[in-house]
Amino acid sequence: MTSASPRPASAEPLLGMRGIDKSFPGVRALAGVDLELRRGEVLALLGENGAGKSTLIKILGGAHPPDAGSIHIEGCEAQIRGPLDARRAGVAIIYQEFNLVPALTARENIFLGQERTTAGFVHRDIERRRAIELLERMKVRIDPEAPCRELTVAQQQVVEIAKALSLSARIIVMDEPSATLTPQEVESLFDVIRDLKARGIGVIYISHRLEEIFQIADRVMVLRDGLHVGTLPVAEVSRGRLIEMMVGRKLENEFPRRDRRIGEPRLVVRGLRGGERVKDVSFELRRGEILALTGLVGAGRTETARLIFGADPLEGGQIEKDGRPLRIRNPRDAIRCGICFLTEDRKAQGLVLGQSARANFGLPNLPLLTRAGFVRQQRERNAFQRYIDSLRIKIPHTEQLVKHLSGGNQQKVVLAKWLERSADVVIFDEPTRGIDVGAKYEIYVLMNELAARGIAILMISSELPEVLGMSDRILVMHEGRVTGEIADAKSATQEQIMSLAVG
């Protein structure tokens, strides 16, 4: 590793990554990237999927060795050859998918790998007192003896931060920390981050939600195609400028203009009931319409979609399509009726990550693509290729493993497999979660194109700018019921939606 020229101690940043290079077979992931993090600062790290953010963070965390460059912490060069070196150097990384053991308690997860023992026995009382101190420091009440599987996502996030603090971390990296949090939980997270700042801890904050950057970050650093585009104070940069830096071009509108004709009701739901989360839901979804279904996490939005799709048992209510009553007992029935569901968690529920994009496309279409029990692979490839072209899926070949595609392209593969079934009702659950701003725009264009063809779209979203920018009408749910409808989304405000969402 190279070392940088000495600087006055007072000017030394908390963290300096200088000239970081990293290549993988056929791909140069990072090219001479510099990152500087100051004490008590939140540095937002932005970039499209594939820009190099994850690679840079994995180098800092010891998961990847750099090909060139140096890492300095408080002015001293740090030799980070693995995760243990990073931990000893005071670096803690909280990945989007938490590194917690669900069956262990909050206390046990906080001190996992650093237990205090005597003769093989863990000092639980000492750990418990320390865990309470750490949790109280973040002004969050969590029973340290509660199993992590019983905690909310927000509480699990706090446990991850407590674990980082227990290691005396000076640098904490948060990767998409708000992806599954409610607005109230996000604000609580920001309170925790402000407390970390006050104690001189540096935070690197990665998020695709630009509105958060302006709320919590001091400076913002942008990567594009493995290059450091620039680092600017948040107070000196606009949302439009950030998008331009990330995608390399101007997006005149973050949400594409729409000009569509809305027709007669296509899907009618009356008095839908099921489980504890859906108590009485009624609405109409029209041809060529994008109807937003929003509300706080836990309001029953996803559960409503699962009932319509037959993924959960329906306890009461009626579903009609094009004026005909439907009896949907399972997803197979829904698919036959022309209803498809793009789930919130596409990796766990929408795709088989170890299979090719072609095989994923073919799974729900096997009746159309088989003869005598054998898949006609050439026909499958030809059918998939049409969607690669029409949906602009960026993929080297049809046999590419779907796990290696970006979030936006994974979403397009899921959409392609449903369109092949001639679906005319499409349910999108958080359609752009974990997708960068450029790919979001492409998904929005596709949704508008589908609506222009007369397809009815139910869009479940927690992102209020997305709800306002993409929908024709807005339904708001609270505790299993629709608490309000905004007939003209263009005239709606975020405050209006939130007042309905809190009941």
Interatomic CA distance for residues 48 and 415, integer angstroms: 21
Amino acid letter for position 350: G
Mode of pairing for the β-strands spanning 456-460 and 425-429: parallel
DSSP state letter for 37: E
The whole-model pTM stands at 0.69
Position 1 scores a pLDDT of 39
CA-nearest of 320, 318, 338, 299 to 461 is 299
Position 216 scores a pLDDT of 96
CATH topology of domain 265-338+423-501: Rossmann fold (3.40.50)
Position 251 scores a pLDDT of 67
CATH topology of domain 9-247: Rossmann fold (3.40.50)
Mode of pairing for the β-strands spanning 202-206 and 171-175: parallel
Position 2 scores a pLDDT of 37
362: left (phi over 0), alpha (psi -120 to 50) or beta: alpha
Joined together, the tokens standing for residue 144 give 């340290």
Residues of the chain within CATH 3.40.50.300 domain(s) are: 9-247, 265-338+423-501
Mode of pairing for the β-strands spanning 42-46 and 219-224: parallel
The list of the chain residues with pLDDT below 70 reads 1-11, 119, 180, 182, 251-252
Position 11 scores a pLDDT of 62
Position 254 scores a pLDDT of 79
Is residue 183 within 8 A of residue 189, CB to CB? The reply is: no
Interatomic CA distance for residues 485 and 487, integer angstroms: 6
Is residue 341 within 8 A of residue 311, CB to CB? The reply is: yes
Position 3 scores a pLDDT of 37
